[in-house]
Structure 1
Amino acid sequence: MGERSSWGVPAVTTKNGTILIKNIYYMLAYAFRSLESYGYQEIAGEEFSNIHDLFAVILAKEVSRQIKRGLYREYHSRTEALPTVRGKIDLQGTIGNKIKRERCVTCEYDELTENNPLNQILKTTICLLLRHGKITDERYAELRRILPFFSNIDEIDAKSIAWEAVHLQRNNQSYRLALGICQLILEGMLLTTESGQYRLSSFVDSQQMHRLYEKFILEFYTAEYPFAKASSPQITWALDDGAGTLLPTMQTDIVLSRNNEVLIIDAKYYSHSMQYSFGTATIHSANLYQIFTYVKNKEAELSDRPHRVAGILLYAKTDEALQPEGDYCMSGNQIKVSALDLNRDFQEIQARLISIANQFFAA
């Protein structure tokens, strides 16, 4: 069973703190906008006792949709000794067959197969949830019904998946949501015991939650805040000599812009949202330097016209007693620091995000 919030609603423990399980769904729904467009709204009304159960129902529904559509197939090159010619003859292999007095021809040919990395990832994730996930009998049965469609597809080592090498094309774009859920499960929840066996943790890894948190906020403002454009652009360094070859890229998380009014939001999801030195708590210095740098370089970009640029460090609230909160004016720019409580009713989270944007654009 999962944990429960202070008022008895099912919640999940992350390294950051507790989050209502239903809010994980809403965050996923914004991060993967297809959750809403594909008619998954009924999931929002269900109760989930733990995070495994939520991921299992979304994965089962999405993979079932893919099966109806047809599993993705791609050509793989094979070399095989055959009684008749298929594809291109491998001369060296065929000579070897003759030497061994075997009546076959070694051929190289391309085979269209479902046994490819995309389907292997789906099967591996389903099998791990079945073997190690804390899921209800109903979810277990749903996943079991899917497995026969993957009988000709191999399982792979979950920790060997090179996610950066997984590229979707026009003819397999429908896998995007399913693979996103698989990556969240495998990278964020997969642990290995001392005996080498896999187990699924009941919390979600902080790094994966950071990505989900950041993507959720960006997509929330894209969908729910029409008064400003939401994007995630790079900011150019304001250089005097133009020689910035070795400078790091300033990649923003969320930027809300209207005309020349710009609010830069840096989303932060940490186990500890404050830093401590000799018992004194302060805001993470690197985070503050980062948002200040973004704001000042963006302001330099707009210096030839009327403008207003501000920044906010938006931490996910932890279970710690002290939370980062502050409103500062630094070199003429407003820099805010605040914490978003993900362990609240989702309507409160929505209202808080809208309020943050309104405070800047209505000022």
Structure 2
Amino acid sequence: MTSDKGILIKNIYYMLTYAFQVLRQTTYENIDAEDFDNIHDLFAAILSKGISGQLKQGLYKEYVNMSDELVAMRGKLNLSGTIKNKIQRKQVLSCEYDELSENNLLNQILKTTMLLLVKERTVKEERRAVLKKSLLFFGTVDYIEPCEIRWDRVHYHRNNQSYKMLLNVCRLIIDGMLLSTEQGEMKLAGFLDEQRMSKLYEKFILEYYRLHHPELHANPDQVKWNLDDENDMWLPSMITDITLKKAGRTLIIDAKYYGQQMQKNYDIQSFRNANLYQVFTYVKNMDVKHDGSVSGMLLYAKTGEEFQPTNKFKMDGNEISVCSLDLSMPFGEISGQLERIATEYFS
């Protein structure tokens, strides 16, 4: 199976199913049986099924502000526009009103992403055909330039919750893969950028433990500074990626997705010092009893580097480990690695 920077494409799908559990619904049940040659094809499969399902429910509508010249009053009168019409001897009123419309930001993002995938030749023809068919239902929806999308204006509520996973996939594609050629044309890169993969990797590990080990109470935790007094003014917040807790023991996992796990100084390789400092700081400040019940782990996504050591250190009474999760393996083996971590620390 083809890989994305050393990660099996199918494993990216499995990571997405944990990050966005709606993918476990029957709408998407056939995807995990398919083989994908590239990540574009995977995303096209998810969106084609998801948008087809959304069309059966109906596209989300919201009130949008409209302006029009009308013979009868509607909404609010635009006085300056109406006076202008009067001067020009036009027997119409300039009105502003709200109308329930499918032409809103959420549907515009879906349409733009579908158009990008339809143009991508690495997407299988049958999937492009499904997307083209779906696009017919977006005739009243405007295309929006990818660079002009205001993601901060995307808000979810009871009436549009079904869009959440779809738009997250759209954002992975647009923010994580979109490139501009010298001619100013848009095309998709062959892989997700490191920043997007890092967030997905972290979310996957967190949701894996939440689903399979609820007894570990997996959460990102805020770590309070272990101070001698109450003066914490100007101290930065410390928030873990994943904290697992059970029976008085705690494991802080710092999930790291880098192209290179090691750093080199004067031709000598070592673990990245900033990462070790960070997890050590989390551990020492959370271990308020100073009894060694809090451990830390740097869990790297294994990369193509030849030298990827693992190690355990006893630092001032606390265990700090450095491990790698091999995302190029079949998913059953990835799951096995995560299970061994849970067993080692909490059994």
Which category of TM-score, normalised to the shorter sequence, fits these structures?
Answer: over 0.9
Deviation of residue 343 (structure 1)? 0.2
**TM-score, scaled to structure 2:** 0.97
1:149 deviates by 0.6
Give runs of aligned pairs for residues 140-289 of structure 1, distance below 5 A.
140-289=128-277
Give the C-alpha shift of residue 72 in structure 1.
Answer: 0.7
The 3-state SS of whatever aligns with 2:48 is helix
Question: Which residue of 299, 312, 328 corresponds with 1:343?
Answer: 328
Give yes or no for contact 1:273–1:324 (8 Å, CA) kept in 2.
no
2 CA distance for matches of 1:40 and 1:94?
Answer: 52
Structure number with the bigger relative contact order (C-alpha 8 A, sep ≥ 6) is 1
Structure 1 residue 102: deviation in Å? Answer: 1.1
* Matched residue, 2:14: 26
Separation (CA, whole Å) in 2 of partners of 1:137 and 1:164: 34
Shift of 1:133: 4.8
Q: 1:53 maps to which residue?
A: 41
AA aligned to 2:182 is E
* 1: CA distance, partners of 2:152 / 2:243: 25
Count how many residue pairs are aligned between Structure 1 and Structure 2. Answer: 347
Question: Which AA in structure 2 matches 1:130?
Answer: V
TM-score, normalising length: structure 1:
0.92
Deviation, 1:39, is 4.4
CA distance in 1, matches of 2:164, 2:128: 23
The residue that corresponds to 1:352 in the other structure is 337
Paired position in structure 2 for 1:320: 305
Bigger CA drift: 82-91 or 162-171? 162-171
- Provide Cα deviations, 1:17-73, integer angstroms capped at 9, x if missing partner: x11111111111111111113442321111111111111010011111111111111
Superposed CA offset, 1:262-286 (max 9, x none): 1000000001111111111111111
| 1:194 positional shift | 1.3
Shift of 1:91: 2.0
* Secondary structure of 1:230's aligned partner: coil
Once the two structures are superposed, residues 309-331 of structure 1 have per-residue CA deviations (whole angstroms, 9 ceiling, x without a partner) of: 00100000010101141100111
SS in 2 for 1:57: helix
C-alpha displacement of 1:82: 1.1
* Aligned residue identity for 1:271: G
1:5 is aligned to none
Query: How far apart in 2 are the matches of 1:259 and 1:158?
Result: 49
Structure-1 separation of matches of 2:10 and 2:88:
65
Checking the alignment, whether the CA contact within 8 Å between 2:206 and 2:218 is kept in structure 1 is yes
Query: Can you give the 5+ residue segments of structure 2 that lack an aligned partner in the other structure?
Result: none
Aligned-partner SS, 1:115: coil
Please say if residues 133 and 200 of structure 1, whose CA atoms lie closer than 8 Å, have aligned partners that are also in contact: no
Offset at 1:107? 1.1
Match of 1:37 in 2: 25
The match for 2:4 is 12
- What is the percent sequence identity of the aligned residues? 50
Q: Secondary structure at the match of 2:304?
A: coil
Whole-Å separation in 1 of the counterparts to 2:216 and 2:26? 26
Which of 87-96 and 51-60 deviates more? Answer: 87-96
Q: 1:128 aligns with which of 82, 95, 116?
A: 116
Distance, in Å, in 2 between the alignment partners of 1:163 and 1:107 is 30
Counterpart of 2:90 (choices 69, 92, 102) is 102
**2:125 aligned with 1:137:** yes
Cα RMSD of the aligned pairs, angstroms, is: 1.4
Residues 167-217 of structure 1, C-alpha deviation per residue, up to 9 Å, x if partnerless? 111211110110111011111111111111111111111100001100000
- Secondary structure at the aligned position of 1:152 is classed as coil
Change (3 A) 1:113 1:340: same
Shift in Å, 1:161:
1.9
The one-letter code sitting in structure 2 at the alignment partner of 1:359 is E
